[in-house]
Amino acid sequence: MSTREEVLGRIRRAVEGAPEVPEAEIPRAYRTEVPCDDLAGLLAERVADYRAIVHVVPSARVAATLAGLVEGKRIAVPDGLPAEWAGPVSQAAATVLADPARDELDTVDAVLTGCAVAVAVTGTIVLDAGPGQGRRELTLVPDHHLCVVRAGQIVAGVPEAIARLSPDSPLTWISGPSATSDIELDRVEGVHGPRTLEVVIAV
Amino acid sequence: MSERATGAPAPRALPAEEGGGGRASVTFIGMPRSFRENAAEAVRNDQLGRNLRKATHTIRGKRARVVEELPDWAELREAGRAIKDHTLRHLDRYLLQLEEAVTRAGGHVHWAADAAEANRIVTGLVQATGESDVVKVKSMATQEIGLNEHLAAHGVTAYETDLAELIVQLGDDWPSHILVPAIHRNRAEIRRIFRDRMASWGRPAPEGLSDEPAALAEAARLHLRERFLSSKVAISGANFMVAETGTMVVVESEGNGRMCLTLPETLISVVGIEKVLPTWRDLEVFLQLLPRSSTGERMNPYTSMWTGAVEGQEFHLVLLDNGRTGVLADEVGRQALRCIRCSACLNVCPVYERAGGHAYGSVYPGPIGAILTPQLRGMGSELDNSLPYASSLCGACLEVCPVAIDIPEVLVELRARARHPRSERAAMRAAGWLLGDQARLARAQRLATRLRRLVPRRLPGPGSAWTDTRDLPEIPEESFRDWWKRS
Ligand code: SF4
């Protein structure tokens, strides 16, 4: 008998006669929608709580804001970054590397991406490796992650985010910069992931 | 102060039994004794006590604040409990569904009945890549099976990358907390470990390293950076697996998880069979319950989700039984399999706070360890036999548990089965009687607490038989309910 059959057999014997917990009876009385009339404001507040840098700007000012932030820097960008950001950014930055290889990634000052969804209540941005977000390592190796969130991408709570996302592509949920509390429970920002997270929220 | 002055046990594991079936798993050497004897040593250690108290109280407060923020916490907890119970009842079906989904997405699924088989599978997979170094993300399942020791015996070095695990590995030490494995070490000790030991594992600590947490974190970043960028094989665990989609979920803080999950060409995840969830939607419950219970944050810094082989990576999933099906067969004990390893029960436990994690002699310390370890390993040893007594049955663990595991109930049940002296049986009956009536429990605890000031370490009535043989104060200085109301 294979181990697979052995383990499955053990499970079947173990639960024989155990009380049923029908799927339909799983109580889901928790909130699946959280009322919130200022999603961008709440997101900004909650992201800032993690000691990330937050800019809330009108959509029309996003390109100019990004240009200011990358000025004179060596920047990595993913494929598919919206043209209205890519243009001004490539003019302002010293160097723009499009979807660079790993060893080059370790040499950039920052990486600029969009995101798929943002969760206001928890201050989380979610990347799904789609256009304008890139492979997972793109937002991991550089020490500074600059991320643009459009107003329409913000949802209130975790259930709304799960409903919008698909597990078909790899997902990275990011809540603030890399951090640890392993030393005497003192929170320190910045271990292996980007030590600076800068979020531009377009309203 | 000597390296062991924190009460850390000797740094070696009994190798998991080779070949034989059954429940091979690692026991910490240096603690063949009972929980009481281990704990007594920890209680005498002031430094450990201070480190632990500071840490558990800090995190307890953070947890309480973020849990209070959610008006639907009770409903989330109820859903979490029910989802887990439903899954466990149909575990065979969901594992098969998971296997199919992972395979469809290009991953490979392996089944391991026990520690020896899991170790063999993983070692074989690593050897097939031709690599002799692997990077690891903190994983309790691989600690449980003693994977690092097994790999080492076959010429493969496993590098722990979680900051706390790195401290433990460099210090030749044992983890003492689920979430913060080096909770028993303070900054000065960590600095010394980094300064003395980093060089023999790779890049040495920076000159003039201070004991500031930020400087220590920076030293870890530098030490591991090159290794992350060049490693070809990574080994992880997972917090959740979604049967419906084949998706794996790893929740972490530092980014070492992302490094290990993303950069290497081959990824091997060793995951206990109880970690499966039926549907994608179920994550909406657990991604709220876990971070708030665990680190006391609204969300942990990084959560990675992937389905099968992604971005050109080769992916292997090793499904681990190692005693879990035995726990599943136990009517009372099976609820322990709901555990999402948040560690909230450790942080509120008056016994853990005094005894420290090492006293539990297992990778699963604290209240959850007291019920899980004896069930996973059996109650053959004196230590495992004594673990169900590592509790005052105050109920704090149940109140904070995000999946409502009735730890006191399981403890009482396990006590009834332990081979123990008559005195302990008497005390056990007393505890059962106390538990039968919440009001009486509260009253008795308050009484015992008051008496404790006069006659330390003695319970009135039948409890004294047990306390007489224990110098661990098993009644909290303040009864849990009073403490909870006050804090
Ligand atoms: S038993 Fe409950 S509180 Fe303890 S670690 Fe497991 S889930 Fe968390």
Mean pLDDT of B232-261: 96
Measured between CB atoms, which of A2, A167, A172 is closest to B258? Answer: A172
In a domain, B396, yes or no: no
Query: Per-residue pLDDT for chain A (203 aa), expressed as one digit of tens each?
Result: 899 999 999 999 999 989 888 998 999 999 999 999 999 999 999 999 999 999 999 999 999 999 999 999 999 999 999 999 999 999 999 999 999 999 899 899 999 999 999 999 999 999 999 999 999 999 999 999 999 999 999 999 999 999 999 999 999 999 999 988 888 777 888 889 899 999 999 99
Looking at residues B212-239, what average pLDDT do you find? 92
Residue B336 has pLDDT above 60, yes or no: yes
Expressed as residue numbers, the domain containing B430 is 422-486
Domain total of chain B: 2
Average pLDDT over residues B105-126: 97
Classify residue B430: in a domain, yes or no.
Answer: yes
For domain A36-202, give the fold: Rossmann fold (3.40.50)
**Residue B111 pLDDT exceeds 90:** yes
**Which pLDDT value is given to residue B483?**
35
Q: Which of B303, B324, B345 is the last residue of a domain?
A: B324
Average pLDDT, chain B: 81
B149-194 per-position pLDDT tens digit: 999 999 999 999 988 888 988 988 888 887 878 888 888 899 999 9
Which candidate in A13, A155, A192 is best for mutational testing of the B interface (most B CBs within 10 A)?
A192
**Could you tell me if residue B337 is inside a domain?**
no
Kindly list the residues from chain B whose CB atom is less than 8 angstroms away from the CB atom of residue A107. Answer: none
Percentage of the residues of chain B whose pLDDT score is greater than 70: 78
What is the reported pLDDT for B127? 97
Same domain, B316 and B429: no
Residue B56 covered by a domain: yes
Q: Are A11 and B262 in contact (CB < 8 Å)?
A: no
Q: Determine whether the interchain pair A23/B278 forms a contact, defined as Cβ–Cβ distance below 8 Å.
A: yes
Confidence of residue B428 (pLDDT cuts 50, 70, 90): very low
Sort out which chain A residues have CB atoms less than 8 A from B163's CB and list them.
180, 182-183, 191
Q: Which residue of B has its CA nearest to A187?
A: B213
Parallel, antiparallel, or unpaired for β B247-252 and B240-242? antiparallel
pLDDT of residue B51: 78
As a whole number of angstroms, the distance between CA B168 and CA B172 comes to 6
Q: What is the pLDDT of residue B391?
A: 83
- Top pLDDT among B450 and A202 is at A202
**B131, B159 contact by CB (below 8 A):** no
Mean pLDDT of the region B46-63: 84
Hey, CA dihedral for A167, A170, A176, A179, is it positive or negative? positive
Query: How far apart, in whole angstroms, are the C-alpha atoms of residue A83 and residue B116?
Result: 55
Interface predicted TM-score (ipTM) of this complex, two decimals: 0.96
Name the 3-class secondary structure at A190.
coil
pLDDT: is B315 or B360 the higher one? Answer: B315
Does B449 lie in the same domain as B307?
A: no
| pTM (two decimals) | 0.86
- Do β-strands A117-119 and A124-127 pair in parallel, antiparallel, or remain unpaired? antiparallel
Among the partner residues A3, A135, A169, nearest to B117 by beta-carbon distance = A3
Query: What is the pLDDT, as a whole number, of residue B374?
Result: 86
- Give the separation between CA B30 and CA B4, rounded to whole angstroms: 12
For B297, nearest residue in chain A (alpha carbons) = A122
The pLDDT of residue B253 is 92
Location of structure tokens 């002055």: B5
Regarding the beta carbon of B402 and ligand 1, being less than 6 Å apart is answered yes
Residue B186 within any structural domain of the chain: yes
Of B58, B113, B190, the CB nearest to A7: B113
Other Cβ atoms within 10 Å of B68 Cβ, number: 10
A28:B79 CB<8 A: yes
Indicate the domain borders of chain A. Answer: 36-202
pLDDT at B419: 66
pLDDT for the residue B362: 82
Residue B198 pLDDT class (50, 70, 90 cuts): very high
pLDDT tens digits for B23-33?
444 544 444 46
- CATH code of B97's domain: 3.40.50.10420
Is any atom of ligand 1 closer than 6 Å to the C-beta of B335?
no
Binding site membership of B344 for ligand 1 (Cβ less than 6 Å): yes
- Model confidence band, residue B42 (pLDDT cutoffs 50, 70, 90): low
| Residue B341 beta carbon below 6 angstroms from any ligand 1 atom | yes
8 Å CB contact of A46 and B186: no
pLDDT tens for each residue of B266-314? 999 999 999 999 999 999 999 999 999 998 999 999 999 999 999 999 9
Q: Hey, whose CA ends up nearest to atom 3 of ligand 1? A: B401
What's the average model confidence in pLDDT over B405-412? 92
* Closest ligand 1 atom number to CA of residue B294: 8
Q: Same domain for B314 and B437? A: no
B72 CA to centre of own chain: 27
How far, in Å, is the centroid of ligand 1 from the Cα of B60? 13
The pLDDT of residue B432: 39
Question: Do B432 and B283 have their domain in common?
Answer: no
Highest mean pLDDT among B204-208, B276-280, B435-439: B276-280
Which 3-state string (H, E, C) describes chain B? CCCCCCCCCCCCECCCCCCCCCCCCCCECCCCCCHHHHHHHHHCCHHHHHHHHHHHHHHHHHHHHHHHCCCCHHHHHHHHHHHHHHHHHCHHHHHHHHHHHHHHCCCEEEEECCHHHHHHHHHHHHHHHCCCEEEECCCHHHHHCCHHHHHHHCCCEEEECCHHHHHHHHCCCCCCCCCCCCCCCCHHHHHHHHHHHHHHHCCCCCCCCCCCHHHHHHHHHHHHHHHHHHCCEEEECCCEEECCCCEEEEEECCCHHHHHHHCCCEEEEEEEHHHEECCHHHHHHHHHHHHHHHCCCCCCCEEEEEECCCCCCEEEEEEECCCHHHHHCCCCHHHHHHCCCCCHHHHHCHHHHHHCHHHHCCCCCHHHHHHHHHHHHCCCCHHHHHHHHCCCCCCHHHHHCCCCCCHHHHHHHHHHHCCCCHHHHHHHHHHHHHHCCHHHHHHHHHHHHHHHHHCCCCCCCCHHHHHCCCCCCCCCCCCHHHHHHHC
Q: What is the pLDDT of residue B133?
A: 95
Is residue B415 included in any domain, yes or no?
no
Helix (H, G, I), strand (E, B) or coil at A184: coil
